[in-house]
Every structure is written in C-alpha cells, then in structure tokens.
Amino acid sequence: MTLNIEYKRSDFVSDQEVRWCPGCGDYTLLQAVQTFLASLELEKERHVFVSGIGCAARFPYYVDTYGLHSIHGRAPAIASGVALANPDLTVWVVTGDGDALSIGGNHLIHAMRRNVNLNVLLFNNQIYGLTKGQYSPTSEVGKRTKTSPMGSIDNPFNPISLALGAGASFVARTVDIDRSHTTEMLEAAYKHNGTSFIEIYQNCNVFNDKAFAALTARPERELNRIDLAQGQPVIFGPDNEYGVILTADGARVVEVDSVGLESIYVHDAYRSDPSAAFSLSQLAAGPTEPSPMGIFRSFESLSYGEALEAQVTDATERRGRGDIADLLTSAGTWSLD
C-alpha cells in the first residue's frame, strides 16, 4: 500500500528523553530502527514494540508507535497475543540477552517453534547492564563480574544456535556499529513470514566495553568477520584467503589455497534443513574468533497465525459458528447435588 505521506526518521522519534549511558550501542540501534521504519510504506500506527526488562526494554518509549513495556522475560508471550489478535500489525520484540535467555528462555523458544509472526531483536552485550554488571547467559567462561568475582563457570548460550534448535524460520546476526548491515537485516526480517530472530551484538561501554572489538575494530574485523552472502562461497580475510568448509565434525576455517575454492561451502539460507546453518553458528566459541554475520536461515513456512486462521475457518465451515452454552454443557461436565 502506498501512503499519501512520506515519513522521515523524526516522525518515529517520541517526545521522551532517551536515557541510556553516553556511548551505549543502543543509540545507534534506535536510530537505525527509526530510519528503517520511516522507509516503509506502512502507517506508523501499525507498528507495535513490545519489551521486557533491561536497558533494551526502554525501546518502546523512544519510538513513536504503539508499544508495551511488559514484565521480565515475557515480551515474546505478550507479543504473540498481540500478533494473533491483530494480524494486520507488525510486531517487534526488543529484548536483551538476560531478559530473553534467562527468565524469558521458555517464552522465546516457544514463540520461535510456533513461528508466530514476530520480529525479535535480541540486543546481546554479554552482560547485565541495567542491574550494573552481573554476568549474563551469554557471558563467556571466566568472565569476572560482581556475581562471578572468580570468573563465570557457566557455559554460555549461543543465541543463533538456540534459535535454530528451536526451529526459528529466520535467524540472523548483525552488530550495532554497522548501520547499513543492521538495516539490511531489519528489512529481511520485516519481509519474512513468521518469527524473525536477529541477534545484535551491542556494546556496553560501561560494564563490557569492546567485547566485540574483534568484529568491529580495524584491522581485526578483516580477519574475523565472516559475511554470509546467499549463493556465494563463505570466504573472508583481507584478501579472501580464508574460507569455511563443512565436514562431518561441523564447520571449519581453512586456507582457500589449501583446499581450492570449489571445496568452500556455498551459503544457502533458504534450505529447509537447518543443519548447515547450525554448523555455521557453532563455528566460533564467541565474538573473539572468526564469526559469521548475516542471515543464517530464511525458510518460508506457514506462520502460527495463518495456521490458526485456517483451522478456525475450517471448523466454522464444517460445523457452523459455535455456541458457548453448548460448549459448557458438552461431554466432560457433571452436576453436583
């Protein structure tokens, strides 16, 4: 649908003062999202942002659309209700690694396995920022924090692997400092039918500064950032001298000259089988190693809302509209004297 007006980023800027720490990566992400929304031919009233608890959860206050600041970890559940009740809305979940992967873990995986029509933006700074620096479900082993003074002994979640394991139909990764790449991922997620999951590496300059420097700083990023391009060999490095192959033991980085370009894995995000995407997600133990960025999987399938609507339509056509009184007095009820 073509609108009679053209939006600018300022149309999506709310009247609320943005209150994040100076230098926080959330500022860049907020601007990227606002600019992206302005580029769409969609009324601003059709966007809904739902958040839980954490620094990222302030997002709905700062975007001039509909929004809900919900409770800790429950944003995917609440957003699912919004999306199913009104399928004409575009529903965005903004969450953090603590909010989504700790108390909210069950809600997140079930939204993804059901393929509810949501866009999940997981801001991953590998730390609890709002509550002042405790280790989070994505903090690396050995991380010294206020709650792990001798170093964390927890094995961290890999959000991409988790999403793929839960059956998410769209899974991608980007980083806060790369506005153009973030916008590219937002556009792909928006166009996808079903649950879109984007992990966004987001710098917390107060409690976990430069956690992603290997993927953002020069010259480290040329050695560590692996950009996934549909239909292209997965190669990287200053001169594309490194590549990724898939073996029986998973994905592995090799020198292209040692195996030949024909042996390098050619990326296909549209495969129904997520095994190759999962292998890519397991390539790095964390963002200090060569790490894939981009779309891991984008497989179109029936969304939960579409399946539900089809079921209701089928039941209505075969049985007619139901009667609540008949339901309440049907089999499985009894009277007490």
User: pLDDT exceeding 90 applies to what percent of the chain?
Assistant: 90
Listing from the earlier edge strand, what are the strands of the sheet with 291-298? 66-69, 47-51, 90-96, 119-124, 196-201, 170-175, 291-298, 225-227
The 10s digit of each residue's pLDDT in 97-139 is 999 999 999 999 999 999 999 999 999 999 999 999 999 999 9
> Rounded to an integer, what distance in angstroms lies between the CA atom of residue 82 and that of residue 51?
13
Please answer whether residues 290 and 224 qualify as being in contact, where contact means their C-beta atoms are separated by less than 8 angstroms.
Answer: yes
Residue 234: how many CB atoms within 10 A of its CB? Answer: 23
The residue among 241 and 328 whose pLDDT is bigger is 241
Flag whether pLDDT at 46 surpasses 70.
yes
User: Which residue's entry shows tokens 């800790």?
Assistant: 72
pLDDT confidence band for 3 (50 / 70 / 90): low
DSSP H or E segment with residue 95: strand 90-96
Report pLDDT for 334: 72
Residue 259 has which token pair? 């195996």
Report pLDDT for 322: 73
Structural domains in the chain?
A: 9-211+302-306 (3.40.50.970)
Q: What is the mean pLDDT of residues 2-15?
A: 87
Q: What is the mean pLDDT of residues 281-302?
A: 96
Q: What is the mean pLDDT of the chain?
A: 94
* Preceding omega of 149 cis (within 30 degrees of 0): no
Flag whether pLDDT at 321 surpasses 70.
yes
Helix (H, G, I), strand (E, B) or coil at 204: strand
User: pLDDT exceeding 70 applies to what percent of the chain?
Assistant: 99
Helix (H, G, I), strand (E, B) or coil at 209: coil
Report pLDDT for 254: 97
HSE-up (13 A, CA, CB side) for residue 303 = 18
pTM score: 0.93
- Residue 151 DSSP label: -
For the residues of 215-243, what is the DSSP string, one character each?
HHSTTHHHHHEEE--TTSB-EESTTS-EE
Flag whether pLDDT at 4 surpasses 80.
no
pLDDT confidence band for 2 (50 / 70 / 90): low
Q: What is the mean pLDDT of residues 223-246?
A: 97
